[in-house]
Structure 1
């Protein structure tokens, strides 16, 4: 990975393609959006694998970021994120506490920030 400065921010040159990053969302993704996206999508991907291994494959997983708390006195530091998962499929809700535990434990992005950002996770199941 490498990043090069452009007129309004930086262009990240990644294996899949280029990504525009800027402090102004008119010109690219803001860094905090990428941080939150990494946490959400890593969690969703791990959750999908956990559900598959527990023989409860999800037909769909939607992730909504319902809250982001930033501390403006500390350069806009992200202090808290609430991720809400809506899982569609033939899911045993009694097993969801374990699914959530394994998801948190095995998501590398969540583990990377666990002592600096409070991450709250909630879920709802929609049976098919």
Structure 2
């Protein structure tokens, strides 16, 4: 990966498109946003893949990430709380929780930071069969 300097940050061109990175979100994604997006995106992708492999039908999957940062230590990310919302019919909450635990064990981004950032996950289901 090659990052190139621009006036207000860095830029990388990838197969999917251009990514601008800057401490000022007027000019690009802030580094902490990319870190959180990597962890949330990886966790959700692995969770989705596990549900698909187990043929667990669902209509939608959303993730919300709340971030706690430490302003006294370079605004370090201390904790990320991921809230997963699964929408579908006749969802088995216990099975979904087990699969979410499995997803965490297989998410490379979460595993990469597990000794330095606390990651918490919560699960909510919305049963559309009612």
Alignment TM-score > 0.5, same fold: yes
CA root-mean-square deviation: 1.1
Deviations 1:72-118 (A, max 9, x none): 22111101010101111232112122111111001110011011100
8 Å CA contact 1:46, 1:106 repeated in 2 = yes
Which runs of at least 4 in structure 1 moved beyond 6 Å after TM superposition?
none
Q: CA deviation at 1:21?
A: 0.6
Task: Please tell me whether residue 6 in structure 1 is matched to residue 6 in structure 2.
Answer: yes
What TM-score, normalized to structure 2?
0.92
Aligned residues: 127
Task: Please tell me whether residue 118 in structure 1 is matched to residue 118 in structure 2.
Answer: yes
Cross-structure match for 2:77 = 78
What TM-score, normalized to structure 1?
0.94
Q: The residue matched to 1:74 in structure 2 has which SS?
A: coil
Cross-structure match for 1:25 = 25
The 2-side partners of 1:79 and 1:6 are apart by: 29
The structure whose residues are more often strand, as a share, is 1
Deviations 1:22-73 (A, max 9, x none): 00001110000000000001111011011112221332111111x2111122
The answer for unaligned runs of 5 or more in structure 1 is none
